[in-house]
Amino acid sequence: MSGRRLRVVFAGTPEFSVPCLEACRASGAEVVAVYTQPDRPAGRGRQLAESPVKRAALATGLAVEQPESLKPAEVQQRLADYRPDLLVVVAYGLILPRKVLAIPRLGCWNVHASVLPRWRGAAPIQRAILAGDAESGVDLMRMEAGLDTGPVLLERRTPIGRDDTGGSLHDRLATLGAEVLAEGLRRTLAGETLAATPQPETGVTYAHKLDKAEAKLDFSRSAIELERQVRAFDPWPVAAGEIAGEPLRIWAARAIEADHHAAPGSVLAAGRDGIDLACGQGALRVTTVQRAGGRRIGAADYLNARPELRRG
């Protein structure tokens, strides 16, 4: 880039987006504005809360815009008035109309938390764990009108470990996202045009938004499927199931091999190693739970309160 600094508008909302905002600020580009979703009610008191991106932007003195939609002409003109060379979008949560995509001179980039075209859409991190994928990653993509359909500019991959949760994979991908964005900005600032690789037409899957109802464990399913649910839904919405009639949030569990003819959900064994629950195939060893109104506790502490369950 010669003459003037690269003018970047950043659009993002949740915690996942914050490392990418910091990467923009550290790149040498000029972040001229930050777009984020309007303040929303949050917490038990339902008080209006600022998004993590808004808090990060205000802390560094950046201009913040919070339109309800990008469709109104006056909103689009406001964006155009910033004269962005590039719009960087990371988990923003609003649809970008075609007219918005056409505003920046160099187009719009998106940092997406999957290896496209697998897991286009809203919840790629959790869907990858639920499906038992061996790896995930982040793609830096040039945006088009379709949902996560644009060509890929840069990519980073990471294996999904047996101990990964939605939270741990989220944090790792947020870091990788910032790294891939930083590389894209560095190369662009050096005058390079990044090669755009079209996504394959095969292998397309959609990561639909998470629903709280999905968190309920169905013990007629296999233990490994339930283990993935527990891992994927930590920290939200948190897996839920019953142990001997008591509804609990289940924070940690492991699938184990077990030959049994017990009814799904029944207690096969319970001791210091955990509480083994019968599944359609195998057993789920529950190790961390949360009672209604309580805090997270280990299985041993839970059994101290329900000693009648101890067996095996």
pLDDT digits (tens, 9 = 90+) for 232-259: 999 999 999 999 999 999 999 999 999 9
Query: What pTM was computed for the model?
Result: 0.95
CA distance 93 to 66: 12
**Strand 267-271 relative to strand 296-298, pairing:** unpaired
Which residue numbers in the chain have pLDDT < 50?
1-2
Give, as one character, the DSSP assignment of residue 149: -
Give residue-wise pLDDT tens across range 130-147.
999 999 999 999 999 999
**What b/e string do you get for 6-16 counting C-beta neighbours within 10 Å, with b at 16 or more?**
bbbbbbbbbbb
**Known binding-site positions:** 114-117
The H or E element spanning position 100 is helix 98-101
pLDDT at residue 312 in the model: 65
**Known binding-site positions for (6S)-5,6,7,8-tetrahydrofolate:** 114-117
Domain 212-309: CATH class, spelled out = alpha beta
CA distance 243 to 241: 7
pLDDT at residue 35 in the model: 98
- Domain residue spans in the chain? 7-207, 212-309
* 298: amino acid identity, one letter: G
Domain 7-207: CATH class, spelled out = alpha beta
